[in-house]
Amino acid sequence: MQTKTQEESDITQTLGLGKSARSGHKKRWLLLLLLIAAAVFFFTSRGKTGQEKPVQYQTQEIQLGSLTETVTATGNLEPTNEVEVGSELSGILKSVEADYNDNVKVGQVLARLDTSKLEAQVTQARASLEAAKAKVIQAQATINETQSKLLQLQKVRELSGNKVPSQVDLDAAQAAYERAVADKASAEASVSQAQATLNVYETDLSKADIVSPINGVVLTRSVEKGQTVAASFQAPVLFTLAEDLTQMELHVDVDEADIGQVLEGQEATFTVDAYPDRTFQARITQVRYGSNTVDGVVTYETVLKVDNTDLSLRPGMTATAEITVQKVENVRLVPAAALRFSPPSLEENQSSESLLSKILPRPPRQEKKKQETISTDKKKQTVWTLQEGNPISIPVQIGATNGVMVEITGGDIKPGMKVIVDTITMGK
């Protein structure tokens, strides 16, 4: 058996069957590595060929000037004081004495209700009051009569030595006197009640004239002569008055992302569709804490004071306001595009690295965490300038921005220095 096994081994070594399996596996791996190397060389050489082409950059100078940061919000114009005038009484409108846009004063009659029923109630209440007063006089007469009789009986009893009249008769006279006093008190109470009823009807009669509570302008009129007014659980609104249209308020909704910058006393400008070529001035008087949520968007109502001396603005107009939240002067300014610029070489390196990472995957690095940490500091940015035709990075710190220009608060840059904002062309 050992001789046979030895012979088979010699045959295998002679034919090279054992080495062929292992060598074939190594050849396949070697071929795969060669293909990967060729692909990497191809893309790298193509990138280098592209880099050989000259790159032209668009630059702008760093300026020294002023910058205003604003917050935009929309809202509606409203009167400073708007009053709704209604009726406490039900009835038929006898007359309407005010119309749209009329200037009215305090106490001026706006409308009158039919007072026929109210006048009859007042007359009835006065009659009841007179009747109650007559009962008081009658009760007083009864008191006088019973008191006189009681005194007479007491004198007779005293002269007779307490023999006549009897004690029963004397007690009856005393009780009659006390009942007369009580009747007078009840009559006097009836007088007070009748007087109160008369006061109620006279008050209702006075309210039949609907008067203006303020000096202002009639914005709306909701009734006509002859219309029935029904005042049940809620007083119907007949007129809407604006106290003074020369001073108005602009109520705007400020987004929650911007509300932290909006403060009382800040200046603002706004426009309305009625005057597209005109800009109006305003000032913030109140920033309310209560929030409004519409379709998942959280806003905070902000009130601005508006001077409307020429009466060109009207209640309800939609306005777009720009609130000045920060204004800086004599600072270094760079275009916002300069902070967004990245040289093409960096982009190509990133693309080639991504290609290699796809071909040859590697374990994840810790650089991502570093980049996330750096990106959290939004005030630290990078601008690029040209030095001998090559882009050079300069770290800077930014401040206020209006979306076009950005304030530079720190960094080795000076006014007049040119920074790259874009790539113009890439060609021969």
Distance of alpha carbon 38 from alpha carbon 40, whole angstroms: 5
DSSP reduced 3-state for 30: helix
Non-local (6+) Cβ contacts of 427 within 8 A are: 53, 54
Report domain extents, the chain: 2-49, 55-66+332-426, 71-80+244-327, 83-112+212-243, 115-207
Helix (H) or strand (E) holding 113: strand 109-113
Distance of alpha carbon 113 from alpha carbon 111, whole angstroms: 7
Dihedral of CA 307/308/313/315: which sign? Answer: positive
CATH of domain 71-80+244-327: 2.40.30.170
pLDDT at 366: 47
Q: Which amino acid is at 155?
A: K
Non-local (6+) Cβ contacts of 14 within 8 A are: none
Check if the beta carbon of residue 99 is closer than 8 Å to that of residue 218.
yes
Reduced 3-state DSSP string for 227-249: CEECCCCCCCEEEEEECCCCEEE
CATH of domain 83-112+212-243: 2.40.50.100
Distance of alpha carbon 103 from alpha carbon 197, whole angstroms: 37
Among 83-87, 216-220, 275-279, 352-356, the minimum mean pLDDT is found in 352-356
Question: Helix axis angle, 344-359 relative to 17-51, nearest 10°?
Answer: 170
Dihedral of CA 369/372/377/382: which sign? Answer: positive
pLDDT exceeds cutoff 50 at 11 = no
Q: How many CB atoms lie within 10 A of CB 108?
A: 14
pLDDT at 362: 52
pLDDT exceeds cutoff 80 at 224 = yes
Task: Name residue 317's beta-bridge partners.
Answer: none
Structure tokens at 337: 């595009």
Is 115-207 a CATH 2.60.40 domain?
no
The beta strands (E) that lie in 344-389 are given as 380-387
pLDDT at 426: 52
CA nearest neighbour of 61 among 419, 421, 423, 311: 419
Rg of the chain taking only CA atoms, in angstroms: 50
Is this model's pTM higher than 0.85 or not?
no
pLDDT tens string 381-417: 999 999 888 899 999 999 888 889 999 999 988 999 9
Among 38-47, 210-219, 318-327, the minimum mean pLDDT is found in 38-47
Under the banding of pLDDT at 50, 70 and 90, the label for residue 24 is: low
pLDDT exceeds cutoff 90 at 2 = no
DSSP reduced 3-state for 400: strand
Q: Is 161 exposed, middle or buried (0-12, 13-18, 19+ CB in 10 A)?
A: exposed
Structure tokens at 212: 């203006």
pLDDT at 27: 73
pLDDT at 355: 47
pLDDT tens string 60-104: 999 999 999 999 999 999 999 999 999 999 999 999 999 999 999
Q: Is 258 exposed, middle or buried (0-12, 13-18, 19+ CB in 10 A)?
A: middle
Non-local (6+) Cβ contacts of 94 within 8 A are: 112, 113, 114, 115, 225
pLDDT at 80: 92
pLDDT at 172: 94
Is 55-66+332-426 a CATH 2.40.420.20 domain?
yes
Residue 82 vs residue 21, higher pLDDT: 82
Distance of alpha carbon 125 from alpha carbon 192, whole angstroms: 12
pLDDT at 31: 76
pLDDT exceeds cutoff 60 at 21 = no
Non-local (6+) Cβ contacts of 405 within 8 A are: 63, 67, 333, 334, 335, 336
Distance of alpha carbon 62 from alpha carbon 60, whole angstroms: 7
pLDDT tens string 301-360: 999 999 999 999 999 999 999 999 999 999 999 999 999 998 876 555 454 445 445 555
Per-residue pLDDT, averaged over 170-176, amounts to 93
Under the banding of pLDDT at 50, 70 and 90, the label for residue 126 is: very high
Residue 416 DSSP label: T
Per-residue pLDDT, averaged over 46-65, amounts to 72
pLDDT tens string 370-381: 444 444 567 889
Length of the chain: 428
pLDDT at 267: 96
